[in-house]
Homo-oligomer: A and B are copies of this chain.
Amino acid sequence: MQTADLKMSEKEKKILDAAIGVISEKGFSAASTSEIARQAGVAEGTIFRYFKTKKDILRGILMHLGNVIAELLVVYGLKKILFHEGHEDLRSGIKGVLKDRMAMIDAVFPMLRIVITEAMYHEDIRQILYDKIISRAVEVFAEYHREMVDKGLMKGEIDAVVAGRSILANLVLFFVYRNLFGPMIELDDYDRELDQVIDAIMHGIAMPENCDKK
């Protein structure tokens, strides 16, 4: 995963990339500016020309994730997959999203890990995360949800937020289970498990009680 913001010098990119690598490995507090500098191939002083404080590096990573990735991950990606790729029915739409998002998460995992960790501890980071990514994602999904409800493919009684969260939630835990706890579990076949996850998202884990609408 490369950083590639527009107004950014070569050195700044190198520093940010190195920072993402080091911080994602050891956590923000345990990552030292000296190691980031070494990893980036610059002097320690150079870091502080581009980022006034260490915390500003973190903000830089957040902004980067917000600006570049969110655009790719949320707006462009979701819209394209949900609306324009010939997935008319809900199931293949969701399956497309999940598979695509799964690969995405893999690619941006270092950055995500940093942001998620820091968001758990600092309200200001949470606020940026919400403004830059979550609110936009909710917006896009709400549009999709409205459309699906109109088509009679999704339940109107369940709000967009809850529905979207259900998809995200299952996706995240699926990822965590496989990628973080994978080594200590004998894993099921990937596609089979993903199909079950989609079933759970779409139709739930309970037996359908009856067929007449309540």
Q: Knowing A120-B117, A173-B165 touch, does A205 contact B155 (C-beta < 8 A)?
A: yes
Q: A90 to B163, alpha carbons, bound, how many Å?
A: 20
Q: A183 to B177, alpha carbons, bound, how many Å?
A: 30
Interface size class of A (residues with CB under 8 A): 35 or more
A190-214 interface (Cβ within 8 A of B): 193, 196-197, 199-208, 211
29 contacts between A and B (CB under 8 A): A27-B27, A27-B29, A27-B121, A28-B29, A29-B29, A29-B30, A90-B206, A91-B206, A117-B117, A117-B121, A119-B180, A126-B184, A127-B184, A134-B181, A154-B205, A155-B199, A155-B205, A155-B207, A157-B196, A158-B199, A158-B205, A159-B188, A159-B193, A161-B177, A163-B200, A166-B197, A202-B204, A202-B206, A211-B211
Residues of chain B within 8 A (CB-CB) of A204 are 199-204
A80 in contact (CB, < 8 A): no
Secondary structure call for the A interface: helix
- Whether A206 and B121, one on each chain, are in contact in the complex, defined by CB atoms closer than 8 angstroms, is no
Mask of A126-138 contacts with B, CB within 8 angstroms, 1/0: 1100100010000
Q: A201 to B206, alpha carbons, bound, how many Å?
A: 8
Tell me how many chains of this kind the complex includes.
2
A170 in contact (CB, < 8 A): yes
